């Protein structure tokens, strides 16, 4: 287990990239999913996978039609974080909340090794 903060030490995000900024057709704030990569002030880099609550339903309905995931009977994602809206301010708030309260960031985020 890697510990990324000591008592009283708060990690800060220094860089952030939102996958949905790259999409030509934009995104649906209420019904979408996106990766968010960020770097902390200790130099570590992370990826978070965000889904809106509504997007989970949309994916399930799509899978019922395509047959994926036992025709929508389950959904699998390694480290999904569910949010009410795909909104940058909300995402940053969620990231900061998790970073401040979670001792093992690998349980929530995927480490990016360069």
Instruction: Report whether pLDDT(42) > 90.
Output: yes
Number of domains in the chain: 1
In a domain, 9, yes or no: no
Q: DSSP per residue over the chain, as a string? A: ------TT----EEEEEEGGGG-TT---SSS-EEEEEEEETTS-EEEEEEEEHHHHHHHHHHHHHH-HHHHHT----TTEEEESS--HHHHHHHHHHHHHH-S-GGGTSEEE--
The range of the structural domain enclosing residue 23 comes to: 16-112
Confidence bin at 114 (pLDDT 50/70/90): low
In a domain, 63, yes or no: yes
In a domain, 11, yes or no: no
> Looking at residue 2, what is its pLDDT?
40
In a domain, 83, yes or no: yes
In a domain, 67, yes or no: yes
In a domain, 6, yes or no: no
The strand pairing partners of 15, in sequence order, are 39
- Whole-model pTM over 0.85: yes
In a domain, 10, yes or no: no
Tell me the pLDDT tens digit for each residue of 59-99: 999 999 999 999 999 999 989 999 999 999 999 999 999 99
In a domain, 1, yes or no: no
């Amino acid at each position: 287990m890697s510990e990324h903060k000591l008592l009283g030490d708060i990690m800060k995000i220094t860089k952030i990239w939102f996958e949905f900024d790259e999409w030509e057709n934009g995104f649906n704030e209420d019904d979408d999913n996106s990766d968010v990569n960020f770097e902390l002030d200790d130099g570590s880099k992370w990826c978070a996978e965000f889904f809106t609550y509504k997007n989970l339903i949309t994916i399930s309905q799509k899978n019922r039609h395509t047959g994926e995931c036992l025709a929508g009977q389950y959904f699998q994602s390694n480290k999904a974080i569910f949010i009410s809206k795909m909104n940058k301010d909300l995402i940053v708030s969620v990231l900061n909340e998790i970073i401040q309260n979670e001792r093992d960031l690998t349980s929530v985020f995927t480490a990016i090794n360069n």
